[in-house]
Every structure is written in structure tokens, then in C-alpha cells.
Chains A and B, each alone.
Chain A
């Protein structure tokens, strides 16, 4: 059931595969930022097409085979994207960066497909500026990711946000390199 739901959210439903994967993806989010996902879906559709040639002769059975192959490819693409669990921000900024969006969409879709999955979004800030302002900044970063996940299919009941402000740096240095790594939101799965 979960795999089915996943395929559906990816927009790679059965009928859609027989047409083009690209077209079905465009209604999910900003199309231009979805290159990796598109590529994965195209791969999925390519393998589906080769089986699709047999559809006429083998009928219903072939459809089931194609479905599983699509599931596998899509799962793989999603799993690859979901390896990214830390998302970075600019100084005093809570806007999600363009290069974070594909991975966040993959997390959204996973949450949408797995209603029992739960995540905590941990917001962090770098050490510059004041402690309390940074606590608020970390929280708004986490809330910003939360809204993005919800806009892409996750339910609010699956998401908790917490801010640690500047108290839990990923790197201890007092320089741009450390600071850029410390301005972040971490997605932590409580249950899968």
C-alpha cells in the first residue's frame, strides 16, 4: 500500500507512465528545480516503456510487473534524495535555498506516503548576534521547513519543530566555514 501511495505522489501513476514522466511532474512544485527527481522519474519511465511494449500481449500481468519496477526506481531516487537531512540557510535568513528543495520534496512525499512516520525539525543558528534572537531564528528556520513539507504533502501532525538557537553548533570554529554549516535545519526521524 505504501509503495502505491508513493508512486501516486510522485505523479508516476500508471497512465502517466505511458505518456511522459516529465509532464506529470510539473504539477508537483517548481519544475525547474526538480532536475534530479525528473531524471529519476525518466529512468523509471524508460524501464517501464520497455515493458510497456509487452502490455498488449500480456495484458494485466505485465501491468503489475511494470508497476513494481517503477516503484523500485522511484524508491531508489527518493532514498537517494532523503540522504540529505541537513539544510542550510543564509545569515539572518529563513528562506529555504533552491538546492534544498528536491530533497525536502522527497521527505515530504515519504511523509505523505507513510502516515505513521514522524519527524522533528531542529533549527539552528550560527553564533553571531544575540542568543535569544538566534533561538527565534532557529525556530523560524524549522517552521519554514515545516511549512514547505506540509505544502508538499506531509501532515502537520507528523512534524514537530524545536530550536536550539546557537547552542548546538555542528562545527566549533569562529569563521565563515563553521558558521555556514551551523545555520541549519536538521530533519530527524522519530519513526519511519
Chain B
């Protein structure tokens, strides 16, 4: 019996390990703010299940706004204000310092006290106490990162968010829709199929995922509740049903249907299931995305012969072309402030991720070291873009900051990973 249990446990562990994403930072930001997150004090007898300070240091370092000082370069490891020797940190040219201690509470949980210190003014900017059980340590670490990030940049942190994505084996006979923390940890399966799964999209409350599944031999749109696993087929018309996008208020869904013979953009009222056809062109119209106002959509259209991005108001229904540079612009996503658009761009050569300023139209290509870039998705604080790319003969996830300065990769340890979608900020 014991042996059987061990084997089951081992295979469970193997299953977990092989699908997990691993972060590899490939380019840092030279102008990023230097910060040192000193290992937290812990006097417990057994090792902590998570290295909280390291998670915070990694979060901040990956954000593009900060350079985290590696532990090996620290000259001292203070845990309290009294232990800080400021000259050490001035010598190391650090602007900020994070110190703290973790203690066990009476109920077996943990209490974390941490301080954020400005090295130059030698003042405490933040002094907080956080508590939680062992399973919440990672959440607490990401929450700390969010607070520190917000305090120093004025932008909300997006470290407590999730990524949803599709993993597949090389033979394309097994597809898994999964989600994980934004740093790739704690992967969880949402849905598995022997048929393709594409275009996952989050609801704005972060509780549901809409996606396209080919489980019945063709593309159909499903909505699945993450917590309960309850799924519902919401579009299964003749032809293709795909590219779902929840409206900002969550009451409607933009989608692409070819029920009338050609792919066109529709909006479905999720309560009544009533369809409203938005585009009627004979070309391809696809990849609808809501503007933050909920009154306009942007979408990809081949109406001039090559894919370009168009904007359409739901009231006047007259699409207006908004991209003019390059021979392939597609799958646009809008930053949360509505100022920039992120998209797949090609100008004769390779496919890359580019941003375009919505007001000035100025285009900036963000990626250069990955191939066949596709499926960009913007972090809910507008700091980073996650996308799918080809590396060697594998599909990986990669991320780039919106200024193009910071780059990292999230390859799967097993097979290909595609179609990422960054969650909204979780409450």
C-alpha cells in the first residue's frame, strides 16, 4: 500500500513539475531604480515553504521599473532599522531597501513585518504587518511587491495577477488550458482536450474565462467559471465561433462568427443571448477588443487586402482604419489607460510586437530577439506585455515592458505554450 501511495505521489509531482513555466530574464532596464530586498529574518526550526524576500526581489526585478540587488552582492543583511549601516547601501548605489522578519503565530500561521526604506533620506516609507497561513506565503509576497511597487512608482503593482495560457505536446494531440501566477508558479489546469483550444479571455472580475474549443470538431465559444469549473457553451452557430472578448462591464461579449458565410464581428448580450452584428464586410473581420469606454471596439480586418487595425463605434458602426505602417497589423490590445495599443506587427520582415500611440499614431517595435511573435496581452497595470513566440522549434511565452527595455521568457518545461492572456487585477 505504501509503495503504491509513493508511486502515485511521485507521478503527481512529475505531472506538476513538467508543465510549469520557468522565468528567464533576458534583458534588464539600465535606468531601473536600484532596490535591495534583504533576506527576511526567520527563527523557526524548519525551513519556510517559500522564500518571501526572494519572491519580492524577483517580482520587482522583473517589472522593468527596478533592479533588484542579488543577495550575493549585499555587504550586510540587516533585519531591523537598528541593524542598517547606510554606508553599505550608499556604496552599492541602492536607492531603496526592504527589510523584514517572519514569525510563527500561535495558530501555526505566519506574521510578516516589513519596512521599505529610502536610503538617501534614511526614512521609513512603509511599515506593514501581514499575516497568513503557509499556503498564503506566495500571495503575501506578491501583495508586498504590489504595495512596494505602488508606493515607489505611483502605478498599481500587477504581481498578484494570473496568466492563462494553452500548453500542448509536440504532436498537437493534447491541449491544456491552464493558469498560473504571473511569475509562472502554481500552475492549475482549467480544461483539457484532444482538440485545439485557443483565444482564452478573462472576465473583468477575474472569475471566468471565455475560450474557443474545437472539442466538437469545429470552433465554439465556452465560458468557464474558474472556482467551480462550471462551463457553458455560448456560441455554436454554423461556421466558426471564436475570438471572445468580455465587455468592460461584463454584460456583453464581442466575438467573431461566420454564420452568414464570412467572419464578422458580433456583440452578444450575455443575459439575453441576443446577437448584434457589428461588421458586414466581405473581407476577414476578427480579433475584436473593447476600448475601455465600452462604446468602441478595435478589430483586425483584411478589407484592404492585408490585415490592419480598425476602430468602430457601436453607435455609428462605421469602421475607421487606425494602422498605416507595415503590411501586417493584427490582434490589437489596448492598455488600461486607453493611450496605447499593442499588436502583432510586420513590415516586410519578421512578426514582432509593437505599440502604437492612440493619439499620435507613433509606432514602436518592442521585440527583436524572438521569432513569430503573436498573441500579445497587456498586464492590467499597463507595465508589461506577455506574448507567444517561437524559440528554436518550440513555442514559448515571453514578456516585454511597454517601453521595450525589459524582456523575459517563460518557456514551459514540457512541450509548447501559447495563447497567453493576462488577468485583470485580482481583489
Contact = CB atoms under 8 A, between A and B. Distances in A.
- Interface size bucket, A side? 20 to 34
Contacts of B217: 162
A130 B300 contact: yes
B240 A133 contact: no
B263 interface: yes
B307 A129 contact: yes
A143 B262 contact: yes
Give the interface SS of chain A, mostly helix, strand, loop or mixed: mixed
B199 A131 contact: yes
B97 interface: no
Interface stretch (B42-50, B106-114, B368-376): B368-376
Contacts of B242: 132, 135
Given A129-B344, A130-B300, A163-B219, A135 B372 contact: no
A130 B302 CA distance: 13
B239 A164 contact: no
B307 A174 contact: no
B390 interface: yes
Contacts of B371: 174
Contacts of B346: 129
A133 B330 contact: yes
A161 B218 CA distance: 9
Contacts of B240: 135-136, 139, 162-163
A132 B287 contact: yes
Contacts of A44: none
Interface string A118-135: 000000000111111101
Nearest to B393: A174
A139 B285 CA distance: 12
A136 B419 CA distance: 17
Contacts, number: 98
A127 B389 CA distance: 11
Interface string B255-289: 01010011100000000000000000000111100
A173 B287 CA distance: 26
Given A143-B261, A143-B262, A174-B371, A132 B328 contact: no
A140 B284 CA distance: 8
B243 to A, nearest CB: 5
A92 interface: yes
Contact of B284 (A128, A136, A168): A136
A137 B307 CA distance: 11
A95 to B, nearest CB: 12
Contacts of A161: 239
Contacts of B393: 172-174
B390 A130 contact: no
Contact of B331 (A132, A140, A173, A174): A132
Nearest to B299: A132
A130 B239 CA distance: 19
A174 B374 contact: no
B424 interface: no
Given A136-B256, A174-B390, A131 B375 contact: yes
B170 A172 contact: yes
B198 interface: yes
Contacts of B239: 139, 161
A162 B390 CA distance: 26
Interface in B389-422: 390, 393, 418-419
B306 interface: yes
Contacts of B330: 129-130, 132-133
Give the interface SS of chain B, mostly helix, strand, loop or mixed: strand
Interface string B284-320: 1111000000000000101000110000000000000
B321 to A, nearest CB: 16
Contacts of B64: none
Interface in A71-103: 92
Contacts of A139: 239-240, 258, 263
B351 interface: yes
A165 B258 contact: no
Contacts of A92: 302, 306-307, 328
B196 interface: yes
B169 to A, nearest CB: 11
A168 B171 CA distance: 9
Contacts of A167: 172, 196, 198, 214
B199 A132 contact: yes
B129 to A, nearest CB: 45
A169 interface: yes
Contacts of A127: 372, 390
Most buried by B among A132, A140, A161, A169: A132
Nearest to A137: B284
B199 A164 contact: no
A169 B199 contact: no
Contacts of A135: 198, 219, 240, 242-243, 263, 286
Interface in B212-232: 214, 217-219
- The 4 A-B residue pairs with the shortest CB-CB distance in the complex, in nearest-first order: A167-B196, A136-B263, A136-B284, A130-B331
20 contacts: A92-B328, A129-B351, A130-B330, A130-B344, A130-B374, A130-B375, A131-B198, A132-B199, A132-B300, A133-B286, A135-B198, A135-B243, A135-B263, A136-B256, A136-B284, A140-B262, A140-B284, A161-B239, A167-B198, A167-B214
Given A92-B302, A165-B198, 14 more contacts: A131-B199, A132-B198, A133-B286, A133-B300, A136-B240, A136-B286, A136-B302, A139-B258, A140-B284, A143-B261, A162-B218, A167-B214, A168-B172, A168-B196
